Amino acid sequence: MNAAPLSSRRPLACWLAFAWLALLAGAGLLAPWLPLPYAAATPDLLHVAAPPSWAGTGHYLGTDPLGRDVLAGLLAGARRLLLLSLPATALATTVGALAGAAAGFWGNRHLRLPLAAVAAALAVAWWGLALPGPVVLYIILALAGLLSLLQWRGPRAAAPWLMITLPLDSLVLGLTTLLGSVPRLILLVAVLAGPPLTQPQLLGVFTVVAWPETARLVRAQMLRVRAQPFIEAARASGLPTGRIWWHHALPHACRPLLAYAPLSLAGLISLESALAFLGIGQGPDVVSWGGLLASVRQDPTVWWVAAGPGIALLVTLLALQKIANSARYSGSS
Amino acid sequence: MTGWLVARLGRALGAAWLIASLVFMVSRALPGGPEQQALPEAGDLSRPTASMVSAASQAASQQALRQRLGLNLPLFYVTRGPGPRGQWQWHGAANQYHAWVRSLLHGNWGYSYRNGQPVLALVRPALATTLPLASAAALLAAGLALLLALYLARTPGGWWQQLVWAGLSGLQVMPLFLLALGLLLLLANPDVLNLLPAAGQAPPDSTAGQLAGYWLARAALPLLSLVLAVLPELTLPLAAALRHETQAGYATTARAKGLTAAQVLRRHALPNALLPLLTTFTDLLPTLAAGVVVVEVLFALPGTGRLLAEAAAAHDYPLVVAGVLLTAGARLLALVLADVLYLLLDPRLRPTA
């Protein structure tokens, strides 16, 4: 990307972006203890679609066509970002980074597991799923014991038939392709078509939808890092492979995430707001910025309902983009 | 090459099948099936007898409904009994998944839970709205992106160019629903500017010409939102690639031959910059498919996106599964098409066998 049109006044804009996000985080964290006259989800049926006023009703930013206070809704939406979008991005980034880095580092042919461990895992799975036929379970267990005995007795790094290669790269790439075959919004619409999910379930769904992008990015970076001389040096000095991966390769492969994680958060926030705007997968008592924006459609004259959440959402997304840009330039220079 | 193409298509079909099967399983395993729609709500005043129906007869009618829709069958070929140490059972062909696959292969996509109409009969007229809208948006956006990128790639950039660049990168992060809502509130609002119709019906006794004009005016705002939503992700990489190409040696040669900057950009840099962007062009489809959902709901257009959103809001799973299958199929076909186009346009990529 070309830096020239964006480089002017970068520090100030970046500080403003951080300040806005800090304000948002503070407001979201303190939302339950702030002295607001109205709760976010309870409608005030005496003042439906009331314009903003500083005197009298106490609806400082007005109410929406359902009678919900806009200021309280803004704070509740900020809290929702803090409790749902942020943890989901963190989880998805972690999962994606680990999966992508493993896939890029070991590829399809280099992760070799001892056959005994595979047999043991199979036995545990058999027992856990309560599959029929205890005889089969005993046979697998006996096989695992025999294999581990052979492995233990035999000389080190010998007997290639005792090892099995796991095609990690194909597995991760296949999963990302599968999840990428449907647009994220449509996949979420389909999954959330059921009854409203609880908070941990929502977190899981958002994580599943968001991790493939990160995994693809980290995998591509890891392919570059793997070929660097310092990895070769680490191998030559006899470090175990897992240690090389964790201590030497992973930190370098995760460098682009510094710039990508804010963008990923922005993507999840706009995805979640779009879902709330469509009214899918939300309990009736959940207030979010997207939900507030949706209530404008019932009455297009109430501009104050659209202005608050709309500006808050836009400024948040622009701030995240600003931070991602400055992280990218400071990372590349 | 034919074998490669067949393998590629097969893999794409398999992926589409797998994702649709997963959505089908999730949708059938979740509670909240059709019985909640067929039975009247507790406080439904239009049917005063509802509250007097005894619980037993309600349960019986629910059971009958589930039996009629085939929901009393087990979900899959093998299922596990309830409890932590339940036993596995083999059900043979008498299961919901088998029935779904068989009717799908016969061209029957199921029946809507809400009104009992066949899914295909609902989807087909909706496609007649969505396909023209989406393809017009894609064509317009591609053309505009070409022009804008050629403008942005000019080296002595002025003040306007910086403004366009900043505007595009701002648009990139703006969610489509916010953009469309802003346009709706600004341009189709009786309080601000009432330029274009955004909802309602065509005037009843209008000629064909008037009708076409009405629908063009109706489609203007959705089209504008869709184009603006996909424009940045097409333009910005293309402009960056063009700037990169103008620094290559062959561009210097072309300039040394005496071509103008515009000629160098159009004839020499553009073909090379365009090739890596085929993937971006095929990535248009998911953005458009997701955008169509938002835009059609917001502007009340009777298309597939609105159908899908309403079905999801009403737990109408057969329609939702059909929507997912359709989108996944279109997306995977687009990916295969992009691969074929790469091979046709760039001989270096062709398999040598």
Q: What is the DSSP string of B153-205?
A: T-SS--HHHHHHHHHHHHHHHS-HHHHHHHHHHHHB-TTS-B-S--SS---TT
Residues A288-311 pLDDT 10s: 888 888 888 877 777 888 888 899
**Which candidate from A190, A279, A313 shows the least CB-CB separation from B23?**
A190
The CA-atom distances, in angstroms, between A6 and each of B22, B148, B256, B297 are 44, 18, 31, 35
Joined together, the tokens standing for residue B271 give 């073909």
Query: Hey, of B17, B23, B168, B173, which one would you mutate to test binding to chain A, going by the most A CBs within 10 A of its CB?
Result: B173
In one letter, which amino acid is B205? D
Judging contacts by C-beta atoms under 8 Å, the chain A residues touching residue B170 are 318
Q: Does A274 touch chain B (CB under 8 A)?
A: yes
Task: Please name the helix (run of DSSP H) or strand (run of DSSP E) that holds residue B319, with its range, or none.
Answer: helix B317-345
Q: What is the pLDDT of residue B41?
A: 43
Query: What is the average pLDDT score of chain A?
Result: 83
Q: Is A324 on the interface with B (CB under 8 A)?
A: no
pLDDT of B42 reads 41
Q: Please report how many Cα atoms fall inside a 13 Å half-sphere around the Cα of residue A227, on the Cβ side.
A: 5
Q: Judging by beta carbons within 10 Å of its beta carbon (0-12, 13-18, 19+), is residue B216 exposed, middle or buried?
A: exposed
What are the start-end ranges of the H helices in A82-198? 86-106, 115-129, 134-153, 168-180, 184-191
Distance, in Å, from the CA atom of A27 to the CA atom of A31, rounded to the nearest integer, reads 6
Does residue A9 have a pLDDT over 80? Answer: no
What was the pLDDT predicted at A91? 95
3-state SS assignment for residue A209: helix
pLDDT at A5: 46
- CA–CA min distance B2, chain A (Å): 23
Question: Model-level pTM?
Answer: 0.83
Across B8-19, average pLDDT = 81
Tell me the three state secondary structure of residue A112. strand
Residue B170 to residue A190, Cβ atoms within 8 A: no
Q: What is the 3-state composition of chain A as percent helix, strand, coil, each rounded to the nearest 5?
A: 70, 0, 25
Least confident of A139-153, B74-88, B302-316: B74-88
Confidence at residue A160, expressed as pLDDT on a 0 to 100 scale: 65
Task: Report yes or no: A280 and B313 within 8 Å, Cβ to Cβ.
Answer: yes
CA–CA separation, B37 and B116 (whole Å)? 11
* Nearest Cα residue to B173 out of B243, B100, B229: B229
Best residue of A129, A136, A182 to probe chain B, by most B CBs closer than 10 Å: A182
Residue A3 is predicted with a pLDDT of 43
Residue A37 CA to residue A35 CA, distance in Å, equals 7
Question: How many residues are given for chain A?
Answer: 333
Q: Classify the C-alpha dihedral B21-B27-B30-B33 as positive or negative.
A: negative
Q: Angle formed by the axes of helices A168-180 and B2-29, to 10°? A: 70
Nearest beta carbon to residue A182 from set B162, B312, B328 = B328
- For B238-263, what is the mean pLDDT? 87
Q: Which of residues 67-96 of A touch B (CB under 8 A)?
A: none
Collapse the DSSP code of B88 into the 3-class scheme (helix H, G, I; strand E, B; otherwise coil) and give the result.
Answer: strand
> For residue A10, what pLDDT band results from cuts at 50, 70 and 90?
low
Tokens 């969610």, residue located = B175
Here the tokens at position A77 are 């939406």
pLDDT at A236 over 90: yes
pLDDT digit string, tens, across residues B91-149: 777 888 888 888 888 888 888 888 888 888 888 888 888 889 999 999 999 899 989 98
Question: Which residues in chain A have Cβ-Cβ distances shorter than 8 Å to B85?
Answer: 130
Residues near A214 by beta carbon (within 8 Å), at least 6 away in sequence: A92, A93, A95, A96, A97, A100, A257, A260, A261, A264
Mean pLDDT of chain B: 80
A184 pLDDT exceeds 90? no
The total number of residues shown for chain B amounts to 353
Do residue A193 and residue B315 have CB atoms under 8 angstroms apart? yes
pLDDT at position A86 is 94
**pLDDT value for B43:** 41
Judge contact between B269 and B153, C-beta under 8 A: yes
Query: Is A178 in Cβ contact with B15 (below 8 Å)?
Result: yes
Q: Are B95 and B77 in contact (CB under 8 A)?
A: yes
Angle between helices A86-106 and A257-278 (to 10 degrees): 130
Cβ distance of B321 and A320 shorter than 8 Å:
no
CB environment A111-133: b (16+ within 10 A), e (fewer): beebbbeebbebbeebeeeeeee
Q: Is the pLDDT of residue A331 over 80?
A: no
If you average pLDDT over residues A245-262, what whole number do you get?
Answer: 91
Each residue of B271-287: b (16+ CB within 10 Å) or e?
A: eebbeebbebbbbbbbb
CB-nearest partner of A274 from B80, B294, B323: B294
B196 touches A: beta carbon within 8 Å: no
Each as own residue / partner, the long-range contacts of residues B135-141 (CB below 8 Å, 24 or more positions apart, any chain) are B136/B219, B136/B223, B137/B223, B137/B226, B137/B227, B137/B230, B137/B288, B137/B291, B138/B230, B138/B284, B138/B288, B140/B223, B140/B227, B141/B226, B141/B227, B141/B230, B141/B231, B141/B234, B141/B284
Higher model confidence: residue A319 or residue A63? A319
pLDDT above 70 covers what percent of chain A?
Answer: 91
Q: How far apart are the first and last CA of chain A?
A: 13
- Out of A152-166, B226-240, B290-304, which region has the weakest mean confidence (pLDDT)? A152-166
User: Phi, psi (5° rounding) for residue B104?
Assistant: -65, -40
Q: Is A314 on the interface with B (CB under 8 A)?
A: yes
| Confidence class for position A45, pLDDT limits 50, 70, 90 | confident
Residue scoring higher pLDDT (A329 or A97): A97
pLDDT higher than 80, residue A82: yes
In tens, the pLDDT along B19-53 reads 888 888 887 777 665 555 544 444 444 444 445 55
pLDDT at B46 (0 to 100)? 46
Interface pTM (ipTM) of the complex? 0.80
Q: Where are the beta strands (DSSP E) in chain A?
A: 112-114, 163-165
